[in-house]
Amino acid sequence: MAQPRPMLDDVELQQVQCIEVEGEQCLVPHEVPGLEGDFLQRLDRRATTIRLSGVLSGSGAREALKTLRDRFRSGRPLPFVADITTATRVGEVLIQELGVRELAGKPERFEYAFLLREYLPPPSPSKPVLPPTPPPPVTPIRQRSGTLVVEVVVSGRSGYDFDRITVTVEGRKEDGSPLPSRTLTHRTADNVWEEPTFPAGRYTATAAAPADRLRGAEPVEVSAGETARVTIVLRPDTPVAHAFIVHFPFDRAFVEPCLMRVLRRAVAYAEAHPEEKLIIVGHTDEVGTPDYNRSLADRRARTVHAALTYAVDPDGSIAEWDHIRHPRPAGESPSIHEGGGGWGTVEYQHILQDLGFYPGNVDGLDGPLTQRAIIAFQRSHGLAVDGVVGDATWRVLIRAYLGHYDLGLPPSRFLPNCEGEVLQWTSCGERMPLDSTPRGLCREPAWRPNRRTELLFVATDRLPCDIPPPDTFHLPPPEGVGGGWCLGDEKKAPCCFASWKQEPGKWLIRRADPGEVRISGTLRFEDGTPAANVAYVLTAPDGQYLHPSAPYGELVCRAGDDAAHRKGDPLPGRTDEAGRFGYPRPTPAGIYVLEIRGPYVARLQGQPRSEARGNIVCKLLEKEEPFEVILFPLPVSLAFVAADDPERSLARVRWGEDFRLRVDVPGAQADELEVELASYLIRHPEGG
């Protein structure tokens, strides 16, 4: 039987004249200690060498040589088959040398010679076993610190024993993290406490002698490398009242959505401080008559109380808001009803937006977008669908809004009133304006920080003075808000119990959110483009409108006869060419409100798109951090059109009917837009 010709890869080697195979074993001799002779250790074998020569001839010889040269240059392993290599178990070879000679006088006839080396794949690299990496040395983080010196003075008591006094400090470090309440122990003098390495930050220092009913507190800021000094004057019966602030638009008692989040934080504070009682105090600015402002301050306190206690008494809270939202009859005083025509489009736009029905601007204009939101809300709550916010719709709106937050402070968290009853709320009218109030510009300046309700948490169970019943305490008849008033008569001063300055016999009010921040942020579109020259209104936690350049962020005085600009209206700022906005001076820590003016829907960066409910965003700032907001255009029209004719509008869509949804978005270039439909739009209406 004919022997098969050798094959190198896919090339048949013709007329092979010589094949030589060389193989070597690797042996290492080792002497035997103490004996003659040695032994051999086998270390496997070397790669087999094959020498091969022969002749290629015929019409395909030149092409075969070209193929062999290509294999040689590639340097890759090639399969090699021959009887002799089969016996030596050689599988793949490398062409180590290649020689070719054309035979003269004999066309298409070539001699060739190869030196082939058996290909032995290298062993897989073994993974070295490294010793475990030692842990990095623990380097303590250097806390920036300064020196804190607290001096305590006891008013009217010479020779007082300062061993009876405890000084504590709490607040936030400069990085925004809370400092657990720290008691100072190092006294350098009889009435001086000093801490040489106190963390930098903003704090409240409190000195107290409980046995003598002495207490006082002062804010203090510690800067790195500097000495901060503070003096606390102790007077009898001066507890600290920790305040949360709910501020209001001009002549309104409606609690806006971002301020409902302040109430949520107040409830969390109450749960964390069970020893403190709550008193709710309403205030107004100085615009209007004292009689009118007393009723307005009452309404502000009442709406806050009703929101805080909704989960305890839902029907009572809804009835309270429903009474207040009605317009005040001309000349009615005192009045539980809202002035300025009562609650209207602005208020239900706020509610519809917070509940996810209305993405447009809260502007008081009852346009097509507002109408669609009203109709969608009415359908989703089983109301008569007429697009009108009448009494029935208002009550359901209030229930849905208050139920969305479902706050439930129990009566036990309030100060006592008559036996078995609590002090739900009281008010000061216009009699407690803040030091920041603009003065000298006009006789009755508007100032949103004065249009506030204070939620005061105090570690006491009684007021330090008698106070009169509020003007609207017994309204609406006949139920009233309680069975009686046992805290004083009409001749008493209504605001004798607390002050933002230390005064004898009054609680000292301090913000529950200590510290200050500097505001800076950016408005961007979803594609990262800066939102340049966009109008906005930024409101601080204390109620101040923060305008980047105007000394006051609102019209504090009458703006002539221009009906579009009224006293108390905010002055919008505008972003720069990079979409930036901000305020140069420090403002209080807490919840900030940013209202975008224009056809935009906004959300905070990092929030899901579902959180973009309208043109208003809220952000809790407890330390200095970027206020980054993402905008996208607001659809100005949303219409059903025929599935086969986009130009033909459909007044309504019937169940099972094919249709398209046409959306008009300002500035959008795409022919098709992704549209999110709220679940209330996708339902089978009763009756087809």
Q: Which of 496, 511, 526 is the last residue of a domain?
A: 511
DSSP states of 227-250 as a string?
Answer: EEEEEEEEEET-PEEEEEEEE--T
Domain count along the chain: 5
- Asked whether the predicted pLDDT for residue 449 surpasses 90, the reply is yes
- Asked whether the predicted pLDDT for residue 9 surpasses 80, the reply is no
> Where residue 684 falls among pLDDT bands split at 50, 70, 90?
very low
Q: What are phi and psi of 152, to 5 degrees?
A: -115, 130
CA 411 vs. chain centroid, Å, equals 32
Q: What pLDDT is stored for residue 25 in this prediction?
A: 74
In the numeric block, the tokens 């679940």 are attached to 679
Average pLDDT over residues 622-648: 80
Q: What pLDDT is stored for residue 642 in this prediction?
A: 78
Residue type, 402: L
Interval 511-527: pLDDT, tens: 998 889 999 999 999 99
Q: What pLDDT is stored for residue 146 in this prediction?
A: 94
What average pLDDT is seen over the chain?
A: 86
Q: What pLDDT is stored for residue 669 in this prediction?
A: 47
- Asked whether the predicted pLDDT for residue 618 surpasses 80, the reply is yes
Within 8 A by CB and 6+ apart from 511, the residues are: 242, 243, 245, 588, 589, 590
β-partners of residue 172 are 178, 202
Interval 410-428: pLDDT, tens: 999 999 999 989 999 999 9
- Are 529 and 626 part of one and the same domain? yes
Q: In degrees to the nearest 10, what's the CA dihedral of 469, 472, 476, 479? A: -10
Q: Are strands 214-222 and 192-199 parallel, antiparallel or unpaired?
A: unpaired
- Are 229 and 254 part of one and the same domain? no
Indicate the angle between helix axes 345-354 and 391-405, nearest 10 degrees: 40
> Where residue 48 falls among pLDDT bands split at 50, 70, 90?
confident
DSSP states of 253-269 as a string?
Answer: ----HHHHHHHHHHHHH
Nearest-CA neighbor of 363 among 352, 376, 350, 378?
Answer: 350
Average pLDDT over residues 661-685: 49
Q: Is 139 domain-assigned?
A: no
CB of 436 closer than 8 Å to CB of 336: no
Interval 479-495: pLDDT, tens: 545 568 999 988 888 89
- Asked whether the predicted pLDDT for residue 565 surpasses 60, the reply is yes
Interval 162-172: pLDDT, tens: 998 999 999 99
What is the SS3 assignment for 454?
strand
What is the SS3 assignment for 512?
coil
In the numeric block, the tokens 């009045």 are attached to 335
- Asked whether the predicted pLDDT for residue 176 surpasses 90, the reply is no
CATH number of the domain to which 52 belongs: 2.40.30
> 476 preceded by cis ω (within 30°)?
yes
- Asked whether the predicted pLDDT for residue 561 surpasses 60, the reply is no
Average pLDDT over residues 61-75: 82
- Asked whether the predicted pLDDT for residue 106 surpasses 90, the reply is no
Q: What pLDDT is stored for residue 60 in this prediction?
A: 79
- Are 419 and 293 part of one and the same domain? yes
Interval 219-252: pLDDT, tens: 999 999 999 999 998 876 578 899 999 999 999 9
Average pLDDT over residues 187-192: 90
Q: Where are the beta strands (DSSP E) in 248-326?
A: 277-283
Q: What pLDDT is stored for residue 41 in this prediction?
A: 75
- Are 528 and 676 part of one and the same domain? no
Q: What pLDDT is stored for residue 1 in this prediction?
A: 42
Q: Which of 463, 492, 511 is the last residue of a domain?
A: 511
Q: Is 138 domain-assigned?
A: no
Q: Is 198 domain-assigned?
A: yes
Cα distances from 412 to residues 346, 512, 525, in angstroms, run: 35, 20, 48
> How far, in Å, CA of 403 to CA of 355, rounded?
11
Average pLDDT over residues 616-634: 93
What is the SS3 assignment for 550?
coil
Domain with 608, as residue range(s), is: 516-633
CA 86 vs. chain centroid, Å, equals 74
> Where residue 364 falls among pLDDT bands split at 50, 70, 90?
very high
Q: Is 126 domain-assigned?
A: no
CB of 255 closer than 8 Å to CB of 242: no
- Are 329 and 447 part of one and the same domain? yes
CATH number of the domain to which 591 belongs: 2.60.40.10
What is the longest distance spanned by two Cα atoms in the chain?
Answer: 139
Q: Are strands 659-664 and 637-642 parallel, antiparallel or unpaired?
A: antiparallel
- DSSP code at position 576: -
Average pLDDT over residues 330-353: 95
Task: Give the tokens for residue 635.
Answer: 């659809």
Average pLDDT over residues 14-25: 79
> How far, in Å, CA of 464 to CA of 235, rounded?
13
- Asked whether the predicted pLDDT for residue 683 surpasses 60, the reply is no
- Are 552 and 565 part of one and the same domain? yes
Q: What pLDDT is stored for residue 679 in this prediction?
A: 38
- Are 27 and 111 part of one and the same domain? yes
Q: What pLDDT is stored for residue 236 in this prediction?
A: 67
Q: Is 539 domain-assigned?
A: yes
β-partners of residue 101 are 111
- Are 152 and 112 part of one and the same domain? no
CB of 636 closer than 8 Å to CB of 599: yes
- Asked whether the predicted pLDDT for residue 43 surpasses 80, the reply is no
- Are 302 and 414 part of one and the same domain? yes
CATH number of the domain to which 405 belongs: 3.30.1330.60
- Asked whether the predicted pLDDT for residue 139 surpasses 60, the reply is no
Q: What pLDDT is stored for residue 682 in this prediction?
A: 44
pTM of the model: 0.67
- Are 444 and 329 part of one and the same domain? yes
Q: What pLDDT is stored for residue 264 in this prediction?
A: 98
Q: Are strands 214-222 and 145-154 parallel, antiparallel or unpaired?
A: unpaired
Q: Is 130 domain-assigned?
A: no
Give the N- to C-terminal CA distance of the chain in Å, as an integer.
91
Q: What pLDDT is stored for residue 635 in this prediction?
A: 64
> How far, in Å, CA of 550 to CA of 573, rounded?
9
In the chain, the percentage of residues whose pLDDT exceeds 70 is 89
- Are 184 and 93 part of one and the same domain? no
> Where residue 84 falls among pLDDT bands split at 50, 70, 90?
low
- Asked whether the predicted pLDDT for residue 315 surpasses 80, the reply is yes
Average pLDDT over residues 132-146: 72
- Asked whether the predicted pLDDT for residue 651 surpasses 70, the reply is no
- Are 477 and 330 part of one and the same domain? yes
Q: Is 567 domain-assigned?
A: yes
> How far, in Å, CA of 644 to CA of 641, rounded?
9
Q: Is 135 domain-assigned?
A: no
Average pLDDT over residues 527-555: 96
Q: What pLDDT is stored for residue 88 in this prediction?
A: 62
Q: Which of 478, 511, 544 is the last residue of a domain?
A: 511
